[in-house]
Amino acid sequence: MTTESTVTLFAKPTQPVPTEPAHTRWKIADIEALFALPFLDLMFRAQETHRAHFKAGEVQRSTLLSIKTGGCSEDCGYCSQSAHHHTGLERESLMPLDEVLNHARAAKENGSSRFCMGAAWRSPKGKDLAAVAEMVSEVKKLGLETCVTLGMLDAEQAKQLADAGLDYYNHNVDTAPGHYDKVVTTHTLQDRLDTIEKVREAGINVCSGGIVGMGEGQTGRAALIAQLANMEPPPESVPINKLVAFPGTPMANSETLDPFDFVRTIAVARITMPQSFVRLSAGREQMSDELQALCFMAGANSIFYGERLLTTDNANADNDTRLFARLGLVAI
**Is residue 112 at the binding interface for ligand DTB, with CB under 6 A as the rule?**
no
Closest separation between CB of residue 122 and ligand DTB, Å?
A: 15
**Is residue 269 at the binding interface for ligand DTB, with CB under 6 A as the rule?**
no
User: Given CA atoms 212, 217, 220, 222 in this order, what sign does their dihedral have?
Assistant: positive
* One residue of 43, 46, 76, 214 binding ligand SF4 per CB under 6 A: 76
| Contacts (Cβ under 8 Å, ≥6 apart) of 315 | 284, 285, 287, 292, 303
HSE, side-chain direction, 13 A CA sphere, residue 249: 22
d(CA 241, CA 254): 14
What angle (nearest 5°) sits at the alpha carbon of residue 89, between those of residues 196 and 178?
A: 40
**What's the distance, CA 129 to chain centroid?**
21
**Is residue 117 at the binding interface for ligand SF4, with CB under 6 A as the rule?**
no
* One residue of 281, 292, 301, 302 binding ligand DTB per CB under 6 A: 281
**Is residue 250 at the binding interface for ligand SF4, with CB under 6 A as the rule?**
no
* One residue of 34, 64, 116, 120 binding ligand SF4 per CB under 6 A: 120
* One residue of 60, 82, 146, 311 binding ligand SF4 per CB under 6 A: 82
What angle (nearest 5°) sits at the alpha carbon of residue 46, between those of residues 304 and 227?
A: 70
Sites of contact with ligand SAM (CB under 6 A):
78-79, 81, 118, 120-121, 149, 151, 171-172, 174, 211, 241, 243-244, 246, 282, 310
Q: Answer yes or no: are the C-beta atoms of 115 and 154 closer than 8 Å.
A: no
**From ligand SF4, ligand SAM, ligand DTB, none, interface partner of 123 (C-beta below 5 to 8 A by class):** none
**Is residue 249 at the binding interface for ligand SF4, with CB under 6 A as the rule?**
no
Binding region for ligand SF4 (CB under 6 A): 72, 74, 76, 79, 81-82, 120, 122, 151
